[in-house]
Structure 1
Amino acid sequence: MNYSVSTNPTVVFLHNGTSPATEDQQIAIAVVVGVLWVWSTFGNLLTILAITIHNGMLTKCNLFILSLAVSDLVSGCIASPLWLYRRTWGFYDWKWGQFLCKLFWFTDESTSYCTSLHIASFAVWRLIGVKWPLRFETIKIRTVKLWLIVLWILAIVFGGFVFSYFYESTPKVTEGRVSSSWPMCSIRLSEHGIEQHLIYYTFSSSTFMIAPLILLTCTSMLLVKELYFKAHFKSKLRRKKEKKASMQLALIASSFLFGYIPMTTYVMWTTRQKNKPPLFDYWFHVAAYFALRLSECLNPLIYNIASGHMRKASRDVLLRARTCGRRRLQSVASLARLNVSAARTTPSVSRRSPSPRTPRKATPSVSRRSTSPRTPRKATPSGLTTPHQNGHEQFLSVKFALVESSLV
């Protein structure tokens, strides 16, 4: 294996031609990403099925959870495999083309902005439901769907299309610059790409990350005020429901902060720092990305912990899947048994040539019944019954006989 040393006079950095990590470290990173990918896919898919299949789960608040689960599912299924290749075997040699490079950034940034907008909107939605419950009931589900569509459009346009413009797959060979420790699929260097990216990232992160975070903080403070300082004006059942809803929001917001604050901090640091240790930059980004993926895995657990209806719906989905799997196995087993029984009952064909059979002589058929002529039956006098008459006729004949005897 050929090892090379960078020519940066301030940093001595060994790499094996694929990434700053060794082969064992790359395999360990792949195992962790694979586990998180399976966990995130299973949990978010279960949440989507629980809300869409189970009756009564398509409520206004659950629509936000459904949209969040779709965002996390898309990010885990598309961005995670591309990130793994980008940070391991394709770090210095990206062989998957410009389209997949831009697709990674398109998916990663659009789902990140979509998640932040959803959580801020969800917090406002919870505040409306707690502070103005009557007004909350007048809002239609169609309005919520339209609002979610607007959020997705904003995230795709400003986080997907615009951000993917700043990224491309180019070799990062310039030493002493901010891009010296970046992978091959990263911010383009031509036409002042880093400066333009920094300006746009400052604007977009302030609009789609910091502003939703401030809104989430203010909304949480108002929710605490409504729940604990005005609780004596509400019934016990309503207070219990509102506390559960607020706990769900607090857990989702905590998961969001746990996942996105490290990644935002890394991007702001690495795009401004020139002479930075490459290994520290590499593992800082890996740790931040693990935190981001772990937050997506924790969200389905949070949905089920904070809601009894969600737990019941998820349990029903699992039971349905188990029942369908058993029926599928039973049908396959019964079909196999039928094939085996059919194979046993089919007559075996002899290998020898069939011998010519002598034709049988036709024998006259002998009738089982006697060929003697039948004697005609005698007519029975009226008033007497025969075995060939039905029950009603027997009853009438007996009745008429009794009437005649009484008259005599």
Structure 2
Amino acid sequence: MDGLISSNGSRHILESATPINSSYTDSTDRSTNAFTTTGNPNLEPPFTYGAVVFSAVMLIPMAVFGLVANLITMIVISKSKTLKSIFNHLLISLCISDMLSAAFSILPLYRQTWGFDYWAWPKFLCKASFAVDAWTTYVTTIHILLFAIFRLLSIQWPIAFKKVSLLQVRLIIVCVWLVAFGCGFMPYAIMFEDIVRNRNSNTPDAAWSHCSLNPAWLMQFVAYYQVAAPIFIFFPMAAIVVLCPVIGIVIKRRRMKYRAARLRFPWPRKRRRKDYLSELRSHDNSAFRTILAQNESKEVESRRRRKERNAFLQLGFITGSFLMGYIPNTAHVVYTTNVAPESMAMRVLEWNLFMVGYIFLRLSECLNPIFYNLVSSKMRAETFSFLGRCLPCKCSPTGQSPQQSNQSSSAQQTANASL
């Protein structure tokens, strides 16, 4: 986003803002002005051809991969009978958010490069470049926070967590999308549009891109951002950073409690299980009752530990990807809303901060589907099965089709049985 508030004080800039000079029209020679230098620093674009090519090479393939990978993940979870869980419902919603963001990611790229001086595309796409980005940002932050809260509930209070139904989770997801639409999409769609910027003026928007905030909404946007950013971005980020270590501590304490209980009540090797359990029932001990309730055996405990480890890794990967994508982007917004680009060097720095943050944001959306499959063996198996059905060549390594391979293997088994 372009700089909105000066470090010298927002009140001074807001009071000194003047309407855009009507004599500055689209008659400016865009082909000359777009990638050349002039005497006025405000008329110089803050990027070079090399920077534009690098940005396009990075962002366009990631947009395609993000669309395809998130679509495959969403289809796999939706069609699978073994992946119907609360967390996977949240993952489907996150995939939809990432797909929307990837589908519209070409708009911010165009806005900050080829369309910096003149937005030649339809006007509603200018609004969508900001509105969809804000909408998906709010949805993603709230979803990651819900994911962490549900994970903590499932580990610390598993009995209470089982009472949460899929219908309730779906209603929560719908409410999140509606609230984010009203508080994110609509304000940005109203206040941002393509307006010719008077590069020679002293107005706050002189150095902004053609598609950016309407200066008439400057004061309203400042007030809106001061309220919306803490609620939908800063607070969820802080809560997520706090919840992840808390979940790790809870898992560690549970394992220490179990280990202490196993040392106090070791599982007998040469005694009957029924006699051992009846003897344990005579004791009034909380650790012992935990063993009875969970039917603790080595296999059950190993399975539970593996599930807890995978759950924590999944949350850690998702949170790490989220922070990697949104911290640079948020830092850019904070910088540009507090520092006015008063020189060409500051404008170049602001543009580079935006592009680096936006590349990391797109990268995080590409990594999410990979992390989903790395952690969950069930999802990984379902994904490979889905890709195997979609591939044009369904040949086995021996050159036979799957039906021929199955028939030959069954015939071989029958022959062996007859022998």
Given the alignment of the two structures, is residue 216 of structure 1 paired with residue 267 of structure 2, yes or no? Answer: no
Given the alignment of the two structures, is residue 316 of structure 1 paired with residue 341 of structure 2, yes or no? Answer: no
In 2: Cα distance, 1:309 partner to 1:101 partner:
41
1:73 CA drift (Å): 0.4
In 2: Cα distance, 1:14 partner to 1:75 partner:
31
Where 2:162 maps in the other structure, the secondary structure is helix
2:313 aligns with 247
Q: Is the 8 A contact 1:178 1:273 kept in 2?
A: no
Where 2:83 maps in the other structure, the secondary structure is coil
Q: Is the 8 A contact 2:194 2:211 kept in 1?
A: yes
Q: Give 1:7-406 correspondences, 5 Å limit.
A: 7=40, 12=41, 15=44, 19-77=45-103, 79-174=104-199, 175=201, 178-190=204-216, 193-234=217-258, 235-274=301-340, 275-276=342-343, 277-322=346-391
2:398 aligns with none
1:37 CA drift (Å): 0.9
In 2: Cα distance, 1:181 partner to 1:266 partner:
16
1:75 CA drift (Å): 0.7
1:217 CA drift (Å): 2.5
In 2: Cα distance, 1:30 partner to 1:218 partner:
36
1:267 CA drift (Å): 1.1
Deviations 1:80-110 (A, max 9, x none): 1211211111110012232111111111100
1:171 CA drift (Å): 2.1
1:214 CA drift (Å): 2.2
Paired letter, 2:108 = W
Where 1:138 maps in the other structure, the secondary structure is coil
In 1: Cα distance, 2:363 partner to 2:97 partner:
14
In 2: Cα distance, 1:127 partner to 1:54 partner:
25
Q: Is the 8 A contact 1:181 1:282 kept in 2?
A: no
Paired letter, 1:291 = F
Q: Is the 8 A contact 1:178 1:271 kept in 2?
A: no
In 2: Cα distance, 1:181 partner to 1:301 partner:
39
In 1: Cα distance, 2:354 partner to 2:124 partner:
23
Where 1:95 maps in the other structure, the secondary structure is coil
Change (3 A) 1:181 1:13: closer
1:23 CA drift (Å): 3.1
Deviations 1:160-188 (A, max 9, x none): 01222221111222555553332111111
1:391 aligns with none
1:53 CA drift (Å): 1.6
1:70 CA drift (Å): 0.7
Q: Is the 8 A contact 1:178 1:272 kept in 2?
A: no
1:41 CA drift (Å): 1.2
Where 1:168 maps in the other structure, the secondary structure is strand
Q: Is the 8 A contact 2:328 2:357 kept in 1?
A: yes
Corresponding pairs, count: 316
1:243 CA drift (Å): 1.6
1:325 CA drift (Å): 8.0
Q: Is the 8 A contact 1:64 1:118 kept in 2?
A: yes
Q: TM-score, normalising length from structure 2? A: 0.71
Where 1:230 maps in the other structure, the secondary structure is helix
Where 1:173 maps in the other structure, the secondary structure is coil
In 2: Cα distance, 1:321 partner to 1:306 partner:
23
Identity in percent: 30
Where 2:212 maps in the other structure, the secondary structure is strand
RMSD of aligned residue pairs (Cα, Å):
2.0
Structure 1, unpaired ranges of 5+ = 327-408
> Which structure has the larger Rg over C-alpha atoms?
1
Q: Is the 8 A contact 1:106 1:160 kept in 2?
A: yes
Change (3 A) 1:171 1:238: same
In 1: Cα distance, 2:356 partner to 2:375 partner:
28
Paired letter, 2:75 = L
Q: TM-score, normalising length from structure 1? A: 0.73
1:118 CA drift (Å): 0.2
In 2: Cα distance, 1:195 partner to 1:158 partner:
17
Q: Is the 8 A contact 2:325 2:362 kept in 1?
A: yes
Higher relative contact order (CA 8 A, sep 6+): 2
Deviations 1:352-404 (A, max 9, x none): xxxxxxxxxxxxxxxxxxxxxxxxxxxxxxxxxxxxxxxxxxxxxxxxxxxxx
1:203 CA drift (Å): 1.0
Change (3 A) 1:181 1:291: farther
In 1: Cα distance, 2:337 partner to 2:206 partner:
11
Paired letter, 1:258 = M
In 2: Cα distance, 1:72 partner to 1:87 partner:
21
Q: Is the 8 A contact 1:43 1:297 kept in 2?
A: yes
In 2: Cα distance, 1:291 partner to 1:84 partner:
13
1:5 aligns with 38
